[in-house]
Structure 1
Amino acid sequence: MTRVYMNRWFSVAYHYINMIRENPDGEKFEFFGTHPDINHMSLVASDHPGTEPAVVGRDYVDFCVDYCRENRIDLFIPRLHMEEISRYAHLFDEIGTKVMVCRDIALLDSMVEKDKFYETVEGKGLVAIPDYRVANTAGEFKRAYEELTAAGHRVCFKPTKSEGGMGFRIIDDERDPLRELYGYVTLSTSFQQAYDTLSSVERFDNLMVMELLSGVEYSIDCVATAEGDLITAIPRRKSTGRTYLLEAVPELLEMAERIAISLRIPYAFNIQVRYSNGIPKLLEINPRMSGGLYITCLSGVNMPYLAVQALQGKAIEPPAPRFGIQAGYVEQPLIMKQPDFEIDLLAQKTR
C-alpha cells in the first residue's frame, strides 16, 4: 500500500485522489490530506483528513516533514508553498518521502513571479510573449497604459505573483457602472478608477500591465518524467460557458515539446496560452496539476496516475489520448457526514 499526502489543495483534489485510486494497474494507495478547514472539499476523498497550522516558510516545511515522518508517507504531492518545499526537498529525501516538486529552485521561483518567467523564456524561441510592462507606482502604471494603448492594444493587468484569476482586471473606459450594478460581477475597471486607487499609496506590489489577448485560450496539460522528458501533452480549449474541447493542435503540441526540452519541468505541469492575431502567446506555466485536469482526463489518459508513476520512477509508455472530445462540468452533491441514526441503520442492514 503506497501512502500519499496532499497538502492544502484545491477542491479538485477530490477527483485526482479518486483517479489515482482507480488506476488501471490495480495499485493500492492510502491518502492523507491536510487543510486549515477540516470541511474543505479537497479532503472528502482522503482516507485520513486533518488540519494544518497557519505557519509559513521553514515552519510550514517542518510541519510537512513531521507529518510525512509520523504517517510514513511514501509520496508527497504539494500545492501550497511549493517554492519553500523545493528549497528543503532534501529533508524529505532523508525520511524516504518522494516529493512531486520541481527541484530547479530558480526556475520554480520564476514560474511563480510571472514577469521573471517571461524574462526566462523570452528570446529562446519557445513561445511568443505578450507585450507587457511592470509597474509598482501609479506613475509607472499610467505610463505603461499609455504605451500599450499607443501600440494599439486593449489593456489588462494582474499581480505578477498570483494564482488563477486573482487580481486580473480589464481596462474598459466605455463601461457603464450603473448598468453593471444590475448585471453580473465584472472583471472590468476604468483606467481612472484603477489609477485613482493605485495613487492612494506610494508603492504597491508589482503589477503586470499587458496587452489583452482576445483570441481562443488553451490549457495544455502535460506530464513528464523526473528528468523532464515529456510523456504526454493534451491541449484543452476553453469554449463557451463551462464547455471545453480536447484538440490535437500541432503547433501547441510542438510548443509543449520545446518547453519540456528547454525547461525540464518534471511530473505534472500546465501551459496556458491565448491566441492573438493567429499567434499563441504565453499566459503562464503552472508547475503542478491544473484545476481543469480532470476534464483533460476524459481523453482516456489518467494523468494524475501517470504523474505518480513518474514520481515513483517507473517506466511509462506514452499514452494515446482521444481528441475531438467536447466536455463540461456540473455541480454534484456529496455527502460528507451522515447522521448517527442513519449510520446505525446501515450497520444493521449489513448484519
Structure 2
Amino acid sequence: MLINILVTGVGGGVGQGIIKSLKLINDLDINIISADMSSLASGLYGGDFCHLVPAASSSNYFDKIAEICSQHNIDYYFPGTDVELLACTKSASEIKEKLGVNIIVSPLNVIEIADDKLKTVQFLAQHGFYYPNTWLPNEVNLESMTYPMIVKPRIGCRSIGVHVVHTSFEAQSAIDSLNDPILQEYIDGDEYTCTVAVSKGIVSDVLCLKRDLRAGDTFRAFPQKNIVIEEYVRSIALALKINGSCNFQLRLANGIPKLFEINSRFSGTTPFCSYLGFNPVEFCLKHELDMPYHSEINYNKIIVRHWCEVVLDHSEIEMLNKNKQGKISSAVVSTML
C-alpha cells in the first residue's frame, strides 16, 4: 500500500529531519511530497514531488494545503515549522473530515503552553513537576536576587534573546531589551534535549540527548540512559496530552530535572533519534496505521552534525517558480563533506 505524506517547512531543519526519518523506514511504501515558501529551500528536493506554498500566516495557506492534499491523495501531513502549528491544529478536524488527511499535531492547549515559557512553568507547577524558579520583572527586587540568572522572552526560539546575567545592572539592561521578559534561576550543568511521542494514547520510549549548542541548534549529541529524566519527560507528556512527537529541553539541578522549554512538534534532533534507533516519525506513522513499532536505541554512539549540499540546475528552479510544483528530478545531486 502506497502512503502519501506531505511535509511542509522543508527549508528548515525540522522539515528536513522529518524527510530523513521517513526515508529510514524500510518496510513501508512512502511517497513524500515536500512543500515550502521558497524554491531555494533545499529540503524541497529530498522528496518525490514538491510544491511552493504561501506563508503560513497567509489567508489562503490552508486553501493551498487542501489543494495539495487533494491532488496527491495525502494520507498524513507533518508540519515542519512552529508558525504552522496553530493553523494546523485549528484546521485538523476540517482537513480530516473533508479530505481524510491526518495532521500529526498536538491539541491547541499544548501548543499554547509550549509557546509561552511562563505558561510552561505554570503548567509544571500545577501538576507537581519540578521546574526552574521563575519570576516576572515586577515580582522581584533585582538587587536581592541570586546571580547568575537567566533573562529571556516569554515567547521565543533558538535561544534568541536569552541572557545570562551576573549583576542587577545586567539584569535590568536585559529586561529593557526584551518584550515581555521573564527571569529564571540559572542551572549550572549539562543540557538535555529529550524526544518522546504519543499516538493513540501509546507512549514511546524517551530518548535523552546530552547536547552541545551552536547558535541555538544542537550540533553534537550524546545519548544518555537516565531513568529519572525519562520518567519525568514521560509523565509530563502524558499530563500535557500531546499528540505526535514533542521535544523537552531541561537541565539537572543536583540530579533533579528541571524543564525550561517545550517544542510541541518534531524537533531539529528528530533525525539524530532516528539514526540512534528511535525513529519518532516511524513510531507515529505506524501507530496511526495500527502497526507495531519497537525502538532499539544505541547508547554507544555520538551524533555530530555537518552541512550537506544540494546541487541544482537553474532549470529546476525556474520550472518550480513557474509551475509552483514539480516532480523531483534524479539529476538533483547531494554531496556531503
TM range (shorter): 0.7 to 0.9
- After superposition, the Cα gap between the structure-2 partners of 1:287 and 1:111, relative to the gap in structure 1 and judged at 3 Å, is same
Amino acid at match of 2:89: S
- After superposition, the Cα gap between the structure-2 partners of 1:194 and 1:270, relative to the gap in structure 1 and judged at 3 Å, is closer
State the alpha-carbon separation in 1 of the partners of residues 58 and 313 from structure 2: 34
State the alpha-carbon separation in 2 of the partners of residues 247 and 161 from structure 1: 29
Match of 1:234 in 2: 207
The counterpart of 1:280, out of the listed 221, 234, 257, is 257
Check conservation: 1:224, 1:232, Cα contact below 8 A. Answer: no
- After superposition, the Cα gap between the structure-2 partners of 1:107 and 1:327, relative to the gap in structure 1 and judged at 3 Å, is closer
1:168 aligns to 2:158 (yes or no) = no
Check conservation: 1:226, 1:313, Cα contact below 8 A. Answer: no
1:85 aligns to 2:79 (yes or no) = no
State the alpha-carbon separation in 2 of the partners of residues 292 and 54 from structure 1: 24
- After superposition, the Cα gap between the structure-2 partners of 1:163 and 1:239, relative to the gap in structure 1 and judged at 3 Å, is closer
State the alpha-carbon separation in 2 of the partners of residues 278 and 22 from structure 1: 35
Match of 1:315 in 2: 291
- After superposition, the Cα gap between the structure-2 partners of 1:271 and 1:338, relative to the gap in structure 1 and judged at 3 Å, is same
Amino acid at match of 1:278: G
Aligned-residue RMSD, C-alpha = 2.7
- 1:252-276 per-residue CA deviation (whole Å, 9 max, x = no partner) reads 1111221233222122111111122
Query: What secondary structure sits across from 1:291 in the alignment?
Result: coil
1:117-136 equivalence runs, <5 A = 117-125=120-128, 127-135=129-137
Check conservation: 2:249, 2:259, Cα contact below 8 A. Answer: yes
Match of 2:324 in 1: none
**Higher relative contact order, chain-length normalized (CA < 8 Å, sep 6+):** 2
Match of 2:54 in 1: 53
Aligned-pair distance for 1:96? Answer: 0.8
Amino acid at match of 1:224: V
- 1:192-226 per-residue CA deviation (whole Å, 9 max, x = no partner) reads 5435546xxxxxx3212212222111111112213
State the alpha-carbon separation in 1 of the partners of residues 61 and 140 from structure 2: 37
1:72 aligns to 2:73 (yes or no) = yes
Moved over 4 A (4+): 195-198
Amino acid at match of 2:203: L
Check conservation: 1:145, 1:155, Cα contact below 8 A. Answer: no
Match of 1:177 in 2: none
Flag the structure with higher strand content.
2
Check conservation: 2:279, 2:295, Cα contact below 8 A. Answer: no
Query: What secondary structure sits across from 1:222 in the alignment?
Result: strand
State the alpha-carbon separation in 1 of the partners of residues 247 and 93 from structure 2: 25
TM-score by length of 1: 0.78
The counterpart of 1:210, out of the listed 158, 179, 184, is 184
State the alpha-carbon separation in 1 of the partners of residues 78 and 69 from structure 2: 11
Query: What secondary structure sits across from 2:246 in the alignment?
Result: strand
State the alpha-carbon separation in 1 of the partners of residues 264 and 130 from structure 2: 19
- After superposition, the Cα gap between the structure-2 partners of 1:11 and 1:262, relative to the gap in structure 1 and judged at 3 Å, is closer
State the alpha-carbon separation in 1 of the partners of residues 172 and 112 from structure 2: 33
- After superposition, the Cα gap between the structure-2 partners of 1:106 and 1:196, relative to the gap in structure 1 and judged at 3 Å, is closer
- 1:291-340 per-residue CA deviation (whole Å, 9 max, x = no partner) reads 11222223223332222223x33232442322232221222333233889
Check conservation: 2:35, 2:53, Cα contact below 8 A. Answer: yes
State the alpha-carbon separation in 2 of the partners of residues 297 and 240 from structure 1: 19
The counterpart of 1:293, out of the listed 259, 264, 270, is 270
Check conservation: 1:214, 1:276, Cα contact below 8 A. Answer: yes
Match of 2:100 in 1: 96
Query: What secondary structure sits across from 1:208 in the alignment?
Result: strand
**Identical-pair percentage:** 17
Check conservation: 2:42, 2:310, Cα contact below 8 A. Answer: no
Match of 1:333 in 2: 309
The counterpart of 1:191, out of the listed 167, 171, 175, is 171
1:263 aligns to 2:243 (yes or no) = no
Aligned-pair distance for 1:98? Answer: 0.8
Larger radius of gyration: 1
- After superposition, the Cα gap between the structure-2 partners of 1:207 and 1:145, relative to the gap in structure 1 and judged at 3 Å, is farther
1:222 aligns to 2:216 (yes or no) = no
State the alpha-carbon separation in 2 of the partners of residues 195 and 19 from structure 1: 40
Structure 1 residue runs without a partner (length 5+): 175-188, 199-204, 341-345, 347-351
- After superposition, the Cα gap between the structure-2 partners of 1:154 and 1:319, relative to the gap in structure 1 and judged at 3 Å, is same
Query: What secondary structure sits across from 2:291 in the alignment?
Result: coil
Check conservation: 1:58, 1:84, Cα contact below 8 A. Answer: no
State the alpha-carbon separation in 2 of the partners of residues 132 and 328 from structure 1: 33
Aligned-pair distance for 1:155? Answer: 1.7
Aligned-pair distance for 1:55? Answer: 5.4
Check conservation: 1:65, 1:91, Cα contact below 8 A. Answer: no
State the alpha-carbon separation in 2 of the partners of residues 32 and 75 from structure 1: 10
